[in-house]
Structure 1
């Protein structure tokens, strides 16, 4: 195994160990809800600066068949695991600004090291942007943690639910594409087809997540009918995207998979909605 893979896998391993420690000390339900919400927030940030603005590139060398998908995996290791775990640690243990500055410095140092090892590169991004942005990310985690301790309702309930459901929907939307090249999107936004796919995939999962939240909280429809409407909506969206030439499925199970994903996402949304309404 090469140095690139070892560094990224090491980052993943340390993050998982820290997450297990946080869950053990502070409770699984509260810790995981906050973690999933921070992953969702990280996904939205990455959609803007990485997917569309091309801020940086990762080289974990874990996916051999496509360099951009390999970079996506590096982004997931960093911004959908390491950073949300550190935010969960800071918020659940009520760490002060000295801790925030210290952990921000650690990530700035890791970024510098990855640059020196040539396993990560900047396009227009700079380490100072990381150093300036992370304290706000951690502050958001502390605010969110205080909120989810209490029973939530109204718009903030919907917002937290959207972040958490987005983590589920976004992850399971992109993983088959990264590992199995199950589908690709073609819009001409970028010359790189994989980047086109990643960017539109982000828009797709965000819109789908809004739908799951809305229908989960829509109480005028029988529960069984919600699942039928959700499955039919995903099927219709898939057919429309395919007929307009945007979606290209490359495996037989592509359509059934995303229909089943939509049903699972709605079930997940309903479950998390109840948890947020009760408080942690």
Structure 2
């Protein structure tokens, strides 16, 4: 069976598990925000492991470029299976036995993918995968429980920021893989590696400010400012020859995409049951 089908199975399992949890639980908007937070957390860990430490390699068999393969290979499980697992251990009462069972399943998947030749350890080891998923589950469960505390305003802001960050970052990764858009700042020789690493830091910085505008300040003109900020920063990247477009894609297409993503986040944040601006007002 082709490698991409194995990766597709992981995506299907993650998607089915996510839908099942959303149907079973009533607080869907809160869970969706947490799902996006868990996804971005996995993305950051993968960026460190893949792009900076060269810990392991993915081989889904779609791209010729090694780093394009890595980016595509990591998106599939980290956008589906890992955050779905975070929902499973957080939304339902989970004892350590369930987390240990999940750890064993992930460990077996690691061994299977290595033996199939569709995933390779460089200096990484299987026991590290076991430790990573175990602590990921513990961290996510603890974070979710802390979010239930009304006084955890800072944690809620980080959660919303990460949710906004993944909404803004994931489409950029897809554009990179399709060849329509990329950035190049010279951190790495490979375009995919350089663009992938820079886009995380760039979008993290801009989305952090936008999260303040959208979630804390809340006035209509601050919401408008978040759109202007993203449009301006993207235009500056293009002006300084750091942002490039191909295949008919251009700065105006990017602005439209940014606007859609920001509107999507605003809609989600409006449904989020814990309003940061109200909580900050109560504290002050």
TM-score bracket relative to the smaller structure: 0.7 to 0.9
CA distance in 2, matches of 1:110, 1:123: 17
Superimposed CA distance per residue, residues 36-95 of structure 1 (whole angstroms, 9 cap, x where no aligned partner): 22112112212222222222211112x346442232121011223211111211111211
What corresponds to 1:240 in structure 2? 236
Partner SS, residue 217 of structure 1:
helix
After alignment, is 233-242 or 168-177 more displaced? 233-242
What corresponds to 1:197 in structure 2? 195
Q: What is the 5 A alignment of 1:102-181?
A: 102-149=101-148, 151=150, 154-178=153-177, 180-181=178-179
What corresponds to 1:33 in structure 2? 33
- 1:3 matched to 2:2? The reply is yes
What corresponds to 1:277 in structure 2? 274
Select which of 255, 260, 282 maps to 1:259.
255
Select which of 165, 177, 181 maps to 1:183.
181
What corresponds to 2:225 in structure 1? 229
What corresponds to 1:47 in structure 2? 47
After alignment, is 46-55 or 6-15 more displaced? 46-55
Shift of 1:236: 2.5
Structure 1 residues 69, 254: CA separation in 2 closer, same or farther (over 3 Å shift)?
Answer: farther
Shift of 1:29: 2.9
CA distance in 1, matches of 2:56, 2:133: 16
Shift of 1:198: 1.0
Does the CA contact (< 8 Å) of 2:56 and 2:119 recur in 1? yes
Does the CA contact (< 8 Å) of 1:161 and 1:272 recur in 2? no
Does the CA contact (< 8 Å) of 1:162 and 1:210 recur in 2? yes
Structure 1 residues 236, 31: CA separation in 2 closer, same or farther (over 3 Å shift)?
Answer: closer
Does the CA contact (< 8 Å) of 1:169 and 1:205 recur in 2? yes
CA distance in 2, matches of 1:9, 1:270: 31
Structure 1 residues 91, 230: CA separation in 2 closer, same or farther (over 3 Å shift)?
Answer: closer
Partner SS, residue 80 of structure 2:
helix
* Superposition RMSD in Å: 2.3
CA distance in 1, matches of 2:264, 2:209: 13
CA distance in 2, matches of 1:105, 1:202: 31
| Length-normalised TM-score, structure 1 | 0.88
CA distance in 1, matches of 2:182, 2:160: 28
User: How many residues are treated as equivalent by the alignment?
Assistant: 274
Unaligned runs of 5+ in 2: 277-284
CA distance in 2, matches of 1:201, 1:278: 29
CA distance in 2, matches of 1:16, 1:102: 20
Give the 4+ runs in structure 1 shifted more than 6 A: none
